[in-house]
């Protein structure tokens, strides 16, 4: 099938109205977004790409058009909406525009279900179309206006292949009796409400993974440097690594953080603030035990239950040949322990699993929570063939 790489930029009322007429008569559309997260501290959707009937529409949310009617298309149950990594796009679109969704498909999740070796859009396009997508604009600044033709062509191609890829993957899902599982999970993606996270004052240690390689004294310096960077990033609305990256932090602590050295990097004003933070640590040296770890605050009995749930998950992973992200996350397991559901209806009330998972995993999970034998229910799980 010939894929159209041309696009229609929607940035005024006339083009928007015409696009709504065409999309409203579609049976299937493909959707993607481009956001500012690589450049800004607070991400925002900068483009919404929609492909239908071989036409690639690129909506510009930064232009003076009202996108609310697009939400009518997204929640229309008669129109199939195809995403690649639906959770990310739906979350962003709910956050910025309060859009609602129903009747979706996700090529990334589906490709994992049928056992593809890789799951990126680039891989799937090459697998199904024998075409390599360009990655030149992958880290493009989508907030910049005007966008150039190369950026817009790149954005259009992110949705241009999705309908044909989904058509092929759907055939495999039907062939191996997995379509119900996939569609059930897709429905859950649409029902997840967007929850605005409260701004945390804690330093995101995961952004500096080498912290444990340093002495307690240097760890405190790194903590204060990270705090300085985080606050500056928030005020400037820039991604923290764009204020200065981890390599710069490592150079600072290696050089001892002299004022002269800092001025050479940051200029006098910021250098003096950073120098003061380094020379006047905010607390005592940080031992390894002081570095926050993922702690679910479980007592001994709950820890034992958590261990049993992880054992169950490992068995399911082996039977179904899946990684844990396709089954239940550690956070999900902790929610089960804290909620202690006694039946499938109570499990449904937690709103963290698709109906397919409730039917197929639920009976076992209820037994584990009740500390009852569960091996018989594991053996009843559907086998997932590696078809790719």
Domain for residue 385, yes or no? Answer: no
Which pLDDT belongs to residue 126? 96
Answer yes or no: do 154 and 284 share one domain: no
Domain for residue 295, yes or no? Answer: no
Cβ(10)–Cβ(57) under 8 Å? yes
Domain for residue 2, yes or no? Answer: no
Domain for residue 86, yes or no? Answer: yes
Last residue of a domain, one of 260, 290, 320: 290
Q: How large is the average pLDDT for residues 286-299? A: 78
Which residues sit opposite 58 in a β-bridge? 9, 49
Domain for residue 184, yes or no? Answer: yes
Answer yes or no: do 274 and 227 share one domain: yes
Answer yes or no: do 143 and 238 share one domain: no
Given phi > 0 = left and psi -120 to 50 = alpha, else beta, which region is 177? left
Tens of pLDDT along 62-91?
A: 999 999 999 999 999 999 999 999 999 999
Answer yes or no: do 39 and 120 share one domain: yes
Answer yes or no: do 143 and 263 share one domain: no
What's the CA angle centered on 236, arms 96 and 245, to 5 degrees?
A: 105
Classify the C-alpha dihedral 324-327-330-331 as positive or negative: positive
Cα(203)–Cα(291) distance, integer angstroms: 10
User: Does residue 2 surpass a pLDDT of 60?
Assistant: no
Give the confidence band of 229 by pLDDT, cuts at 50, 70, 90: very high
Last residue of a domain, one of 266, 290, 314: 290
Answer yes or no: do 218 and 277 share one domain: yes
Which pLDDT belongs to residue 380? 67
Residues in the chain: 388
Q: Residue 248 sits in which domain range?
A: 205-290
Q: Provide the domain count of the chain.
A: 3
Last residue of a domain, one of 191, 215, 244: 191
Which pLDDT belongs to residue 384? 63
Answer yes or no: do 239 and 351 share one domain: no
Helices (H), 117-148: 121-129
């Amino acid at each position: 099938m010939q894929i159209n790489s041309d696009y229609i930029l929607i940035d005024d009322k006339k083009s928007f109205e015409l696009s709504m007429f065409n999309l409203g008569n579609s049976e299937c559309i493909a959707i993607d977004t481009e956001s500012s997260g690589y450049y800004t501290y607070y991400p925002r959707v900068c483009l919404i790409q929609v492909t239908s009937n071989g036409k690639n529409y690129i909506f510009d949310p930064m232009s003076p058009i009202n996108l609310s009617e697009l939400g009518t298309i997204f929640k229309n149950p008669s129109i199939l909406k195809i995403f690649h990594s639906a959770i990310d796009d739906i979350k962003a679109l709910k956050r910025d525009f309060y859009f609602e969704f129903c009747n979706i498909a996700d090529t990334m999740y589906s490709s994992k279900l049928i056992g593809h070796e890789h799951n990126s859009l680039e891989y799937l396009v090459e697998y199904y179309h024998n075409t390599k997508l360009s990655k030149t604009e992958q880290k493009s600044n989508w907030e910049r206006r005007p966008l150039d033709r190369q950026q817009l062509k790149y954005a259009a191609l992110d949705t241009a292949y999705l309908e044909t890829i989904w058509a092929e993957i759907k055939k495999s899902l039907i062939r191996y009796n997995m379509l119900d599982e996939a569609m059930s999970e897709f429905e859950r993606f649409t029902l997840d409400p967007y929850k605005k996270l409260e701004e945390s004052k804690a330093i995101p240690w995961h952004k500096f993974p080498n912290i444990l390689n340093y002495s307690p004294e240097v760890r405190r310096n790194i903590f204060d440097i990270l705090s300085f960077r985080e606050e500056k990033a928030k005020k400037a609305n820039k991604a923290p690594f764009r204020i200065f990256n981890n390599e710069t932090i490592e150079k600072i602590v290696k050089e001892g953080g002299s004022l002269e050295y800092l001025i050479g990097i940051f200029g006098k004003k910021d250098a003096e603030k950073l120098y003061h933070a380094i020379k006047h640590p905010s607390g005592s040296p940080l031992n390894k035990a002081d570095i926050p770890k993922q702690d679910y605050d479980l007592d001994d009995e709950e820890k034992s239950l958590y261990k049993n749930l992880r054992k169950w998950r490992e068995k399911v992973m082996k039977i179904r040949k899946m990684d844990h992200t396709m089954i239940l996350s550690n956070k999900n397991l902790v929610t089960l322990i804290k909620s202690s559901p006694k039946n499938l209806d109570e499990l449904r009330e937690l709103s963290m699993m698709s109906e397919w998972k409730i039917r197929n995993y639920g009976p076992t999970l209820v037994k584990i929570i009740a500390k009852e034998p569960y091996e018989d229910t594991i053996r009843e799980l559907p086998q997932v063939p590696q078809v790719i």
